[in-house]
Structure 1
Amino acid sequence: MKLLILYTGGTIGMVAQRDGSLVPFHSDALRANVPDLARLAAEVDCRSLGQPKDSSHVGPDDWRAMADALWAARDEFDGFVVLHGTDTMAYSASALSFMLGGSFGKPVVLTGSQVPLGVLRSDGRDNLLTSLEIAMLRDAQGGPQVREVTVFFENRLFRGNRVYKHSARQFDAFHSPNYPELGRSGVELVLHRKRLWQPDLGEGRRTALNANVAVATLTPGMTEASLRAMLLGSGAHGVILQTLGSGNAPAWPWLAAVLTEAGAQGVRLAHVSQCRAASTAPSNYASGKVIQDAGVWESGGMTLEAAVVKMMLVLALEPGMQHAAWAASWAGERD
């Protein structure tokens, strides 16, 4: 069995210099920092995706580069682990889950750490080694048990497009409030097989995207001028509205007109809840019906991160295909 570690940067790849400063290590130094890699019953290769990056700087061009690198190595390796910084890991995991397509059909596990590998009490070693073990899991026919993009962090395996970073201080940095964990590492490595995504192995890659997407959070006291600037004055082609509860909005008398005007000018609008454990759905409240009646797309439990990335990909489609594509579940990202 052959596994590939794709190193993109992030906290996990930092080592201490003699003066105590932290600098990124080259992928060749990974074995020196994690000697237990040699104990795995697999051949492990490690490659860098260009110059290591702080994940705050990772964006659409990097998602394409990651997807290209994984596809280029697909036939050579049985499973993949992507080392990534935590700040935008949820965005990259969502992007890869959509862009690789169902035909990729092999395990991709994103992981990282809150404390650098070069520090004695780093959480990175366990995260990396267990991620590799997850990528090794086979079914009775010898095929991979996991055929989707996942995130493994602090003993828990999640669907990659369902997570968000909830803590910069704790080792359990990621939560998945609207979909249960896929597995857990303890004395045994437990995988909940019925929760795993079963991809359409005939589904091809998605490569085109339009990154001109903005986020507008509806807050008490927001003025019409402010929302107009976000929806109509920013030049965005798509906007994700962060609504209240399960899809409600303040009772502003001007809201319906602004939303309708934005839609008429070709701006694609969708909404997710500001409440992380929530799913936007048709509302019985008058404040929610304003959102519905204006034609704003609901998101069915998608995270903000997944919604932003999916909107970028949807905007690259023909206009007549966009709503249906948004409403479809491409990789288990929505209810």
Structure 2
Amino acid sequence: MAASLPQGWTLCASAFNWAPDIIAAHRPAPEIVTAIVEEGVADTVELEPGLLWRSFPEPDGGEVDRFRSGLAAAGGRVSTVGVSLDDFSSPTRARPPQERLDFLVPQLRAAARVGASGVRLPIGQAGPDLLRRLLPLLHELDLVLYEEIQGQQAPSTPATAAALETVASIGDPRLRILVDISMLMPALPVSYLDELSRGGIPADLVARLATEWQSPETQDAVASFLRSGNVPPQVHTLYMNLLIRFGRSHARDLQDVLPLVGAFHLKFWDLEDDGGRISRPIRDLGRLLGSEGFTGTLTSEWGGHEWLRDDPTAMTRQHLALASRSLAS
């Protein structure tokens, strides 16, 4: 599948794509994740330990070892582990600095134990002090910590720019950026627009979202409708994707931060590629990375199971094939 890609580019599949199957619990989570490799979808997998290990956030060594052995027996390996930082120990008590570190350490050790090359946190959550305190352990465990930008977290937005500057100023290769290409959406997913229509969003707003997604005026209209209080309750959470998870950046906007980037999420929502709404951002990204000498992982991550009930194995297999063609072109 990835034979025609440049050396050092690794296509992966995220276990997050199988979240509905894991939550349904008809099979044990480790079995579902190992099947990603056994069924030939991908041989490199990104893990979500909160979905995988019952002992999370302090993964039990035996549980981790059994999963690693099963995955290796199937011919698979782990790329990145999505760790979690719970900043509050109760609704009213924020964790002090040492507790924040202590919360992450067992997760990092489990990531190294399972054979991962990196761990992932949302950009800016750790903060400069914790990042610096984590560096010795990252070196000890031979891990890279990726801070993830996605959706509307464009490099030019103040909070994102400040967090990127923190990573750059620390200047350690154990700290890198992961870019989720939900930032690069020329148009919204067809299935998502259909879901908004069924949920009662006015037809004129849906039509505008379908044809003028990248217009700043459309974003103003989205916020105005939210403030009106008229978003139907049944689609309120889904509607918030327009303000958070769906971006309007372009691949060229990543040019200046590429020296810090070591991984990508090839986020997709459905497989409707009319007008290149899925493939065009991937092709643009491929051209940019090809000229920059990028090496790292590019992981298929399906966000559409929030509203779709399609088979994750079929969806991921098809998306990886589309992504491979788009990158190679």
Q: Above 0.5 in TM-score?
A: no
Which one has more relative contact order, counting CA pairs under 8 Å at least 6 apart?
A: 2
Bigger CA radius of gyration:
1
How high is the TM-score relative to the length of structure 2?
0.26
How high is the TM-score relative to the length of structure 1?
0.26
